[in-house]
Amino acid sequence: MQDVGLQLPFERSGVLEISPIYELLREKAPVVRVTTPTGDPAWVVLAYDEARLAFSDRRFGYYTHPNPESASRMSDAALHSAPMGGIDFEAEMGRLRKLMAPSFSPKRTRLLKDWIQELTDTCLDDMQAAHDRNPGEPVDYHEFLGYKLPVLVICVLLGVPVEDRDYVFGLSDRMGAYSSGSDPFVAMAELQEYMGRLVEVKRKNLGPDVISDMIAAQANDPSFFSTRPMESYAAGLVFPGHETTVARMDFGLLFLLTELSRRDWLMEDPEGRIDQTVEEILRSTSAHNLGLMRYALEDIEIGGVTIGTGDLVIIAEGAANRDPSKFERPDEFDPQRISKGHLAFGHGAHICIGQSLARTELRIVFPSLFTRFPGIELAIDVSELRVRNDRTGGGVDHVAVKW
Ligand code: HEM
Protein backbone atom coordinates (compact mmCIF):
# COMPACT_ATOMS: atom_id res chain seq x y z
CA MET A 1 0.00 0.00 0.00
CA GLN A 2 1.87 3.10 -1.18
CA ASP A 3 -0.56 5.97 -1.67
CA VAL A 4 -1.28 8.19 1.27
CA GLY A 5 -5.01 8.36 1.76
CA LEU A 6 -7.20 10.94 3.43
CA GLN A 7 -6.40 11.64 7.04
CA LEU A 8 -8.61 10.03 9.71
CA PRO A 9 -10.59 10.89 11.75
CA PHE A 10 -13.16 12.60 9.54
CA GLU A 11 -14.72 15.29 11.67
CA ARG A 12 -18.47 15.73 11.82
CA SER A 13 -20.40 18.95 12.16
CA GLY A 14 -22.85 17.69 14.79
CA VAL A 15 -22.75 15.00 17.41
CA LEU A 16 -25.77 13.13 16.01
CA GLU A 17 -24.46 13.31 12.45
CA ILE A 18 -21.63 11.54 10.69
CA SER A 19 -18.98 13.28 8.64
CA PRO A 20 -20.30 14.30 5.18
CA ILE A 21 -16.98 13.03 3.78
CA TYR A 22 -18.23 9.43 4.07
CA GLU A 23 -21.07 10.10 1.65
CA LEU A 24 -18.84 12.01 -0.78
CA LEU A 25 -16.31 9.19 -0.81
CA ARG A 26 -18.90 6.42 -1.02
CA GLU A 27 -20.34 7.96 -4.18
CA LYS A 28 -16.95 7.23 -5.79
CA ALA A 29 -15.91 3.97 -4.11
CA PRO A 30 -17.04 1.68 -1.27
CA VAL A 31 -13.49 1.13 0.02
CA VAL A 32 -10.85 3.89 0.09
CA ARG A 33 -7.32 4.50 1.29
CA VAL A 34 -6.78 6.51 4.42
CA THR A 35 -4.07 7.43 6.88
CA THR A 36 -4.80 6.64 10.53
CA PRO A 37 -4.28 9.15 13.37
CA THR A 38 -0.93 7.41 14.03
CA GLY A 39 0.15 8.15 10.46
CA ASP A 40 -0.17 4.54 9.32
CA PRO A 41 -1.71 3.47 6.01
CA ALA A 42 -5.09 1.72 6.06
CA TRP A 43 -8.29 1.17 4.10
CA VAL A 44 -11.70 2.30 5.23
CA VAL A 45 -14.86 0.43 4.24
CA LEU A 46 -17.75 2.89 3.88
CA ALA A 47 -20.57 1.05 2.15
CA TYR A 48 -23.07 -1.34 3.70
CA ASP A 49 -22.59 -4.36 1.40
CA GLU A 50 -18.80 -4.26 1.57
CA ALA A 51 -18.89 -3.75 5.36
CA ARG A 52 -21.05 -6.86 5.74
CA LEU A 53 -18.70 -8.77 3.47
CA ALA A 54 -15.64 -7.68 5.43
CA PHE A 55 -17.30 -8.71 8.72
CA SER A 56 -18.14 -12.16 7.39
CA ASP A 57 -15.04 -13.00 5.31
CA ARG A 58 -12.64 -14.90 7.56
CA ARG A 59 -9.69 -13.78 5.43
CA PHE A 60 -10.04 -10.50 7.31
CA GLY A 61 -8.26 -11.35 10.56
CA TYR A 62 -9.96 -10.19 13.75
CA TYR A 63 -7.18 -8.32 15.60
CA THR A 64 -4.95 -10.95 14.08
CA HIS A 65 -1.96 -10.15 11.91
CA PRO A 66 0.51 -12.46 10.20
CA ASN A 67 3.33 -10.36 11.67
CA PRO A 68 1.89 -8.20 14.49
CA GLU A 69 5.04 -6.07 15.07
CA SER A 70 4.90 -4.62 11.58
CA ALA A 71 1.15 -3.94 11.55
CA SER A 72 -0.44 -0.52 11.02
CA ARG A 73 -2.10 0.92 14.12
CA MET A 74 -5.50 2.55 14.10
CA SER A 75 -4.68 4.85 17.02
CA ASP A 76 -2.49 5.26 20.12
CA ALA A 77 -5.16 3.79 22.37
CA ALA A 78 -4.47 0.83 24.64
CA LEU A 79 -7.48 -1.02 23.24
CA HIS A 80 -8.74 -1.73 19.75
CA SER A 81 -5.80 -0.04 18.09
CA ALA A 82 -3.38 -2.81 17.06
CA PRO A 83 -3.29 -6.60 16.62
CA MET A 84 -3.97 -8.59 19.78
CA GLY A 85 -1.99 -11.53 18.55
CA GLY A 86 -0.83 -13.77 15.77
CA ILE A 87 -3.12 -16.01 13.80
CA ASP A 88 -3.73 -18.39 16.74
CA PHE A 89 -5.54 -15.64 18.64
CA GLU A 90 -8.77 -15.78 16.63
CA ALA A 91 -9.17 -19.54 17.13
CA GLU A 92 -8.74 -19.07 20.86
CA MET A 93 -11.34 -16.29 20.90
CA GLY A 94 -13.74 -18.52 18.96
CA ARG A 95 -13.49 -21.30 21.52
CA LEU A 96 -14.04 -18.91 24.38
CA ARG A 97 -17.01 -17.38 22.62
CA LYS A 98 -18.69 -20.78 22.44
CA LEU A 99 -17.99 -21.29 26.11
CA MET A 100 -19.51 -17.97 27.10
CA ALA A 101 -22.50 -18.09 24.72
CA PRO A 102 -24.94 -19.57 27.31
CA SER A 103 -24.11 -16.78 29.78
CA PHE A 104 -25.14 -14.19 27.17
CA SER A 105 -28.03 -16.04 25.51
CA PRO A 106 -31.39 -14.29 25.04
CA LYS A 107 -32.82 -16.83 27.55
CA ARG A 108 -30.29 -15.93 30.28
CA THR A 109 -30.72 -12.23 29.49
CA ARG A 110 -34.51 -12.46 29.87
CA LEU A 111 -33.92 -13.78 33.37
CA LEU A 112 -31.88 -10.67 34.11
CA LYS A 113 -34.67 -8.28 33.14
CA ASP A 114 -36.11 -7.73 36.62
CA TRP A 115 -32.71 -7.23 38.03
CA ILE A 116 -31.71 -4.66 35.33
CA GLN A 117 -34.98 -2.89 36.10
CA GLU A 118 -33.99 -2.72 39.78
CA LEU A 119 -30.56 -1.30 38.95
CA THR A 120 -32.22 1.26 36.65
CA ASP A 121 -34.65 2.28 39.39
CA THR A 122 -31.77 2.82 41.81
CA CYS A 123 -30.04 5.06 39.24
CA LEU A 124 -33.31 6.99 38.78
CA ASP A 125 -33.56 7.44 42.57
CA ASP A 126 -30.05 8.93 42.49
CA MET A 127 -31.09 11.29 39.66
CA GLN A 128 -34.09 12.39 41.70
CA ALA A 129 -31.89 12.94 44.77
CA ALA A 130 -29.46 15.08 42.73
CA HIS A 131 -32.43 17.09 41.45
CA ASP A 132 -33.76 17.58 44.99
CA ARG A 133 -30.38 18.73 46.26
CA ASN A 134 -30.31 21.54 43.69
CA PRO A 135 -33.88 22.21 42.56
CA GLY A 136 -34.09 23.96 39.21
CA GLU A 137 -30.54 22.95 38.23
CA PRO A 138 -29.84 20.49 35.39
CA VAL A 139 -28.94 16.89 36.28
CA ASP A 140 -26.34 14.92 34.33
CA TYR A 141 -28.11 11.83 32.94
CA HIS A 142 -24.76 10.53 31.67
CA GLU A 143 -23.31 10.47 35.20
CA PHE A 144 -26.28 8.96 36.98
CA LEU A 145 -27.65 6.55 34.39
CA GLY A 146 -26.10 6.46 30.91
CA TYR A 147 -22.62 5.78 32.20
CA LYS A 148 -23.46 3.97 35.39
CA LEU A 149 -25.99 1.31 34.45
CA PRO A 150 -23.85 -0.55 31.87
CA VAL A 151 -20.95 -0.89 34.31
CA LEU A 152 -23.21 -2.05 37.13
CA VAL A 153 -24.63 -4.68 34.78
CA ILE A 154 -21.20 -5.97 33.72
CA CYS A 155 -19.95 -6.05 37.31
CA VAL A 156 -22.91 -8.15 38.43
CA LEU A 157 -22.52 -10.38 35.39
CA LEU A 158 -18.88 -11.03 36.22
CA GLY A 159 -19.59 -11.36 39.95
CA VAL A 160 -17.55 -8.29 40.98
CA PRO A 161 -18.42 -7.50 44.65
CA VAL A 162 -20.33 -4.26 45.27
CA GLU A 163 -17.47 -2.67 47.21
CA ASP A 164 -15.07 -3.08 44.24
CA ARG A 165 -17.36 -1.64 41.58
CA ASP A 166 -16.12 1.95 41.71
CA TYR A 167 -12.57 0.68 41.40
CA VAL A 168 -13.47 -1.38 38.31
CA PHE A 169 -15.43 1.61 36.83
CA GLY A 170 -12.32 3.74 37.28
CA LEU A 171 -10.02 1.24 35.58
CA SER A 172 -12.37 0.78 32.64
CA ASP A 173 -12.55 4.54 32.26
CA ARG A 174 -8.77 4.96 32.31
CA MET A 175 -8.32 2.13 29.79
CA GLY A 176 -10.42 3.88 27.17
CA ALA A 177 -8.56 7.21 27.23
CA TYR A 178 -5.99 8.18 24.57
CA SER A 179 -3.28 10.75 24.96
CA SER A 180 -2.63 9.92 28.60
CA GLY A 181 0.76 8.29 28.02
CA SER A 182 1.12 4.82 29.45
CA ASP A 183 -1.75 5.14 31.94
CA PRO A 184 -4.35 3.18 29.86
CA PHE A 185 -1.85 0.29 29.67
CA VAL A 186 -1.19 0.50 33.43
CA ALA A 187 -4.96 0.43 34.07
CA MET A 188 -5.32 -2.59 31.78
CA ALA A 189 -2.63 -4.48 33.69
CA GLU A 190 -4.27 -3.49 37.00
CA LEU A 191 -7.66 -4.76 35.85
CA GLN A 192 -6.13 -8.06 34.83
CA GLU A 193 -4.43 -8.40 38.24
CA TYR A 194 -7.68 -7.60 39.96
CA MET A 195 -9.51 -10.24 37.88
CA GLY A 196 -6.77 -12.75 38.79
CA ARG A 197 -7.53 -12.21 42.47
CA LEU A 198 -11.26 -12.45 41.82
CA VAL A 199 -10.81 -15.76 39.97
CA GLU A 200 -9.01 -17.18 43.03
CA VAL A 201 -11.85 -16.05 45.33
CA LYS A 202 -14.46 -17.57 43.01
CA ARG A 203 -12.64 -20.88 42.74
CA LYS A 204 -13.54 -21.42 46.40
CA ASN A 205 -17.11 -20.24 46.02
CA LEU A 206 -18.70 -20.58 42.58
CA GLY A 207 -21.72 -18.38 41.86
CA PRO A 208 -24.17 -17.53 39.06
CA ASP A 209 -21.66 -15.40 37.13
CA VAL A 210 -19.47 -15.53 34.03
CA ILE A 211 -16.18 -16.04 35.90
CA SER A 212 -17.67 -19.04 37.70
CA ASP A 213 -18.81 -20.36 34.29
CA MET A 214 -15.21 -20.07 33.04
CA ILE A 215 -13.88 -21.90 36.11
CA ALA A 216 -16.41 -24.70 35.64
CA ALA A 217 -15.51 -25.00 31.94
CA GLN A 218 -11.83 -25.28 32.76
CA ALA A 219 -12.58 -27.99 35.34
CA ASN A 220 -14.35 -29.97 32.58
CA ASP A 221 -11.69 -29.32 29.96
CA PRO A 222 -8.25 -28.31 31.33
CA SER A 223 -7.09 -27.18 27.86
CA PHE A 224 -9.15 -24.00 28.30
CA PHE A 225 -6.99 -20.99 29.15
CA SER A 226 -3.78 -22.91 28.54
CA THR A 227 -2.37 -20.18 26.27
CA ARG A 228 -3.80 -17.09 27.99
CA PRO A 229 -4.93 -16.86 31.59
CA MET A 230 -8.60 -16.74 32.46
CA GLU A 231 -8.21 -13.29 34.03
CA SER A 232 -7.20 -11.74 30.72
CA TYR A 233 -10.53 -12.88 29.20
CA ALA A 234 -12.50 -11.75 32.25
CA ALA A 235 -10.81 -8.32 32.02
CA GLY A 236 -11.49 -8.34 28.27
CA LEU A 237 -15.23 -8.40 28.88
CA VAL A 238 -15.34 -5.19 30.90
CA PHE A 239 -14.46 -2.72 28.19
CA PRO A 240 -16.44 -3.97 25.14
CA GLY A 241 -19.63 -3.98 27.16
CA HIS A 242 -19.05 -0.64 28.79
CA GLU A 243 -18.33 2.35 26.53
CA THR A 244 -20.31 0.85 23.65
CA THR A 245 -23.47 0.64 25.75
CA VAL A 246 -22.88 4.00 27.45
CA ALA A 247 -22.74 5.72 24.07
CA ARG A 248 -26.08 4.18 22.97
CA MET A 249 -27.67 5.19 26.27
CA ASP A 250 -26.46 8.77 25.79
CA PHE A 251 -27.07 9.11 22.05
CA GLY A 252 -30.44 7.39 22.42
CA LEU A 253 -31.59 10.05 24.85
CA LEU A 254 -30.21 12.83 22.66
CA PHE A 255 -32.08 11.46 19.64
CA LEU A 256 -35.30 11.08 21.60
CA LEU A 257 -35.22 14.47 23.29
CA THR A 258 -34.01 16.70 20.44
CA GLU A 259 -37.60 16.41 19.21
CA LEU A 260 -39.97 15.86 22.11
CA SER A 261 -42.59 14.38 19.78
CA ARG A 262 -40.31 11.30 19.58
CA ARG A 263 -40.39 10.89 23.36
CA ASP A 264 -44.17 11.35 23.34
CA TRP A 265 -44.72 8.92 20.46
CA LEU A 266 -42.76 6.24 22.33
CA MET A 267 -44.68 6.81 25.55
CA GLU A 268 -48.07 6.46 23.85
CA ASP A 269 -47.31 2.73 23.67
CA PRO A 270 -43.94 2.02 25.30
CA GLU A 271 -44.25 -1.74 25.22
CA GLY A 272 -45.31 -1.84 21.59
CA ARG A 273 -42.80 0.77 20.36
CA ILE A 274 -39.64 0.38 22.38
CA ASP A 275 -38.09 -2.44 20.32
CA GLN A 276 -38.17 -0.51 17.05
CA THR A 277 -37.03 2.67 18.82
CA VAL A 278 -33.99 0.86 20.20
CA GLU A 279 -33.13 -0.59 16.77
CA GLU A 280 -33.26 2.90 15.26
CA ILE A 281 -31.03 4.21 18.08
CA LEU A 282 -28.56 1.42 17.34
CA ARG A 283 -28.61 2.12 13.59
CA SER A 284 -28.32 5.88 13.92
CA THR A 285 -25.68 6.11 16.64
CA SER A 286 -22.20 6.68 15.36
CA ALA A 287 -20.33 6.97 18.62
CA HIS A 288 -16.79 7.42 17.33
CA ASN A 289 -14.98 8.78 14.28
CA LEU A 290 -12.96 5.65 13.42
CA GLY A 291 -14.30 2.08 13.05
CA LEU A 292 -13.77 -1.63 13.70
CA MET A 293 -10.48 -3.21 12.77
CA ARG A 294 -9.44 -6.14 10.62
CA TYR A 295 -6.12 -7.15 9.02
CA ALA A 296 -6.02 -8.88 5.63
CA LEU A 297 -4.57 -12.36 6.09
CA GLU A 298 -4.05 -12.64 2.33
CA ASP A 299 -4.59 -10.44 -0.74
CA ILE A 300 -8.33 -9.76 -0.98
CA GLU A 301 -10.42 -8.14 -3.74
CA ILE A 302 -13.26 -6.08 -2.36
CA GLY A 303 -15.20 -3.08 -3.64
CA GLY A 304 -13.01 -2.79 -6.73
CA VAL A 305 -9.67 -2.65 -4.89
CA THR A 306 -7.09 -5.21 -3.86
CA ILE A 307 -6.24 -5.15 -0.19
CA GLY A 308 -2.73 -6.46 0.34
CA THR A 309 -1.77 -9.11 2.90
CA GLY A 310 -1.31 -7.51 6.32
CA ASP A 311 -3.09 -4.24 5.43
CA LEU A 312 -5.23 -2.64 8.10
CA VAL A 313 -8.92 -2.42 7.20
CA ILE A 314 -11.21 -0.13 9.19
CA ILE A 315 -14.89 -0.93 8.86
CA ALA A 316 -16.77 2.33 9.40
CA GLU A 317 -19.95 0.68 10.68
CA GLY A 318 -21.53 4.03 11.53
CA ALA A 319 -21.15 5.12 7.89
CA ALA A 320 -22.39 1.73 6.60
CA ASN A 321 -25.49 2.13 8.76
CA ARG A 322 -26.23 5.32 6.86
CA ASP A 323 -25.71 3.95 3.38
CA PRO A 324 -28.72 5.06 1.28
CA SER A 325 -28.52 1.87 -0.79
CA LYS A 326 -29.63 -0.03 2.33
CA PHE A 327 -31.62 2.49 4.40
CA GLU A 328 -33.97 5.10 2.98
CA ARG A 329 -33.44 8.64 4.33
CA PRO A 330 -30.44 7.28 6.24
CA ASP A 331 -29.58 10.48 8.09
CA GLU A 332 -33.06 10.85 9.50
CA PHE A 333 -33.65 9.39 12.96
CA ASP A 334 -37.08 7.84 12.52
CA PRO A 335 -38.14 5.49 15.32
CA GLN A 336 -41.26 4.67 13.33
CA ARG A 337 -39.24 2.78 10.74
CA ILE A 338 -38.23 -0.83 11.24
CA SER A 339 -34.45 -0.68 10.86
CA LYS A 340 -33.54 -4.28 10.23
CA GLY A 341 -30.07 -5.43 9.25
CA HIS A 342 -28.02 -2.62 10.79
CA LEU A 343 -24.41 -3.36 11.66
CA ALA A 344 -24.27 -1.74 15.10
CA PHE A 345 -23.29 -5.10 16.63
CA GLY A 346 -21.11 -6.11 13.70
CA HIS A 347 -21.94 -9.24 11.71
CA GLY A 348 -20.64 -12.77 11.23
CA ALA A 349 -18.35 -14.76 13.50
CA HIS A 350 -17.60 -11.91 15.91
CA ILE A 351 -21.03 -10.33 16.11
CA CYS A 352 -21.44 -8.81 19.57
CA ILE A 353 -21.87 -11.49 22.19
CA GLY A 354 -23.53 -8.97 24.53
CA GLN A 355 -26.21 -7.80 22.07
CA SER A 356 -29.19 -9.30 23.95
CA LEU A 357 -27.97 -7.79 27.15
CA ALA A 358 -27.40 -4.37 25.58
CA ARG A 359 -30.84 -4.43 23.94
CA THR A 360 -32.44 -5.37 27.26
CA GLU A 361 -30.73 -2.45 29.01
CA LEU A 362 -31.77 0.02 26.31
CA ARG A 363 -35.35 -1.29 26.22
CA ILE A 364 -35.66 -0.78 29.97
CA VAL A 365 -33.93 2.56 30.34
CA PHE A 366 -35.93 4.92 28.13
CA PRO A 367 -39.50 3.97 29.16
CA SER A 368 -38.40 3.90 32.82
CA LEU A 369 -36.82 7.33 32.57
CA PHE A 370 -39.82 8.88 30.79
CA THR A 371 -42.26 7.25 33.22
CA ARG A 372 -40.39 8.58 36.25
CA PHE A 373 -39.81 12.06 34.76
CA PRO A 374 -42.56 12.59 32.16
CA GLY A 375 -41.56 16.18 31.42
CA ILE A 376 -37.84 15.46 30.95
CA GLU A 377 -36.05 17.64 28.39
CA LEU A 378 -32.48 18.38 27.38
CA ALA A 379 -30.84 21.20 29.32
CA ILE A 380 -28.09 21.64 26.73
CA ASP A 381 -27.94 22.73 23.15
CA VAL A 382 -27.03 19.58 21.17
CA SER A 383 -25.03 21.67 18.71
CA GLU A 384 -22.59 22.45 21.53
CA LEU A 385 -21.79 18.79 22.22
CA ARG A 386 -18.72 17.17 20.67
CA VAL A 387 -17.86 13.51 20.14
CA ARG A 388 -14.75 12.67 22.16
CA ASN A 389 -11.86 11.93 19.84
CA ASP A 390 -9.69 11.11 22.85
CA ARG A 391 -11.53 7.93 23.85
CA THR A 392 -11.66 4.54 22.15
CA GLY A 393 -15.44 4.44 22.37
CA GLY A 394 -15.95 8.12 21.47
CA GLY A 395 -19.26 9.19 23.01
CA VAL A 396 -19.96 12.39 24.92
CA ASP A 397 -18.98 13.60 28.40
CA HIS A 398 -22.31 14.86 29.71
CA VAL A 399 -25.99 14.89 28.86
CA ALA A 400 -27.62 17.54 31.04
CA VAL A 401 -31.38 17.19 31.47
CA LYS A 402 -34.12 19.03 33.38
CA TRP A 403 -37.70 18.32 34.39
C1 HEM B 1 -25.13 -1.20 22.58
C2 HEM B 1 -24.05 -1.75 23.10
C3 HEM B 1 -23.04 -2.51 22.32
C4 HEM B 1 -22.59 -2.31 21.05
C5 HEM B 1 -23.02 -1.24 20.05
C6 HEM B 1 -21.60 -3.34 20.78
C7 HEM B 1 -20.94 -3.47 19.59
C8 HEM B 1 -20.10 -4.53 19.28
C9 HEM B 1 -19.53 -4.77 17.98
C10 HEM B 1 -19.74 -3.89 16.75
C11 HEM B 1 -18.79 -5.90 18.07
C12 HEM B 1 -18.04 -6.58 16.94
C13 HEM B 1 -16.65 -6.04 16.85
C14 HEM B 1 -15.95 -6.43 15.58
O15 HEM B 1 -16.49 -7.19 14.76
O16 HEM B 1 -14.84 -5.94 15.40
C17 HEM B 1 -18.86 -6.36 19.44
C18 HEM B 1 -18.19 -7.46 19.94
C19 HEM B 1 -18.19 -7.82 21.26
N20 HEM B 1 -18.99 -7.31 22.26
FE21 HEM B 1 -20.32 -5.81 22.06
N22 HEM B 1 -21.46 -4.12 21.89
C23 HEM B 1 -22.32 -3.67 22.85
C24 HEM B 1 -22.52 -4.20 24.11
C25 HEM B 1 -21.83 -5.27 24.64
C26 HEM B 1 -22.02 -5.82 25.96
C27 HEM B 1 -23.07 -5.33 26.96
C28 HEM B 1 -21.09 -6.81 26.13
C29 HEM B 1 -20.80 -7.72 27.28
C30 HEM B 1 -21.00 -7.49 28.53
C31 HEM B 1 -20.33 -6.89 24.89
C32 HEM B 1 -19.28 -7.76 24.66
C33 HEM B 1 -18.70 -7.95 23.43
C34 HEM B 1 -17.65 -8.93 23.19
C35 HEM B 1 -17.01 -9.84 24.24
C36 HEM B 1 -17.33 -8.84 21.84
C37 HEM B 1 -16.29 -9.67 21.08
C38 HEM B 1 -16.96 -10.86 20.44
C39 HEM B 1 -15.97 -11.75 19.71
O40 HEM B 1 -14.79 -11.50 19.79
O41 HEM B 1 -16.38 -12.72 19.05
N42 HEM B 1 -20.80 -5.94 24.02
N43 HEM B 1 -19.68 -5.53 20.15
Mutate to test the pocket of ligand 1, among 100, 211, 244, 253 (most ligand atoms within 8 A of CB): 244
Tens digits of residue pLDDT in 279-334: 999 999 999 999 999 999 999 999 999 999 999 999 999 999 999 999 999 999 99
> In the prediction, which pLDDT does 180 show?
64
> Residue 2: pLDDT band by 50, 70, 90 thresholds?
very low
Lowest mean pLDDT across 65-74, 84-93, 201-210: 84-93
- C-beta of 97 in contact with ligand 1 (< 6 A): yes
> In the prediction, which pLDDT does 109 show?
85
- Read off the pLDDT of each residue in 41-51 and give the average, rounded to a whole number: 97
Percentage of residues of the chain with pLDDT beyond 70: 98
Lowest mean pLDDT across 26-40, 91-105, 107-121, 378-392: 91-105
> Residue 347: pLDDT band by 50, 70, 90 thresholds?
very high
Rounded CA-CA distance 169/174 in Å is: 9
Lowest mean pLDDT across 156-165, 249-258, 266-275: 156-165
| pLDDT surpasses 50 at 172 | yes
- Read off the pLDDT of each residue in 265-275 and give the average, rounded to a whole number: 98
Domains in the chain, ordered, with CATH? 6-402 (1.10.630.10)
CA of 126 to the centre of ligand 1 (A): 28
- C-beta of 350 in contact with ligand 1 (< 6 A): yes
| pLDDT surpasses 50 at 220 | yes
> Residue 336: pLDDT band by 50, 70, 90 thresholds?
very high
Mutate to test the pocket of ligand 1, among 233, 290, 352, 353 (most ligand atoms within 8 A of CB): 352
DSSP SS3 for 190? helix
CA of 194 to the centre of ligand 1 (A): 22
Percentage of residues of the chain with pLDDT beyond 90: 71
191-197-198-201 Cα dihedral, nearest 10 degrees: 180
Secondary structure of 206-242 as H, E, C letters: CCCCHHHHHHHHHHHCCCCCCCCCHHHHHHHHHCCCC
Global pTM reads 0.95
Of ligand 1's atoms, which has the minimum distance to the CA of residue 359? Answer: 1
CA of 207 to the centre of ligand 1 (A): 24
Cα-to-chain-centroid distance, residue 143: 18
Tens digits of residue pLDDT in 385-394: 999 988 888 9
Rounded CA-CA distance 379/254 in Å is: 11
Lowest mean pLDDT across 137-141, 229-233, 261-265: 229-233
Q: Where is pLDDT greater, at 175 or 53?
A: 53
Cα-to-chain-centroid distance, residue 364: 18
Rounded CA-CA distance 205/196 in Å is: 15
Tens digits of residue pLDDT in 365-380: 999 999 999 999 999 9
CA distances from 54 to 27, 33, 49, 74, 331 (A): 19, 15, 9, 17, 23
CB contact at 8 A, 253 and 123: no
Query: Which H or E run contains 32?
Result: strand 31-35
Tell me what the pLDDT averaged over the chain comes to: 92
In the chain, % helix, strand, coil (3-state, to 5) comes to 50, 10, 40
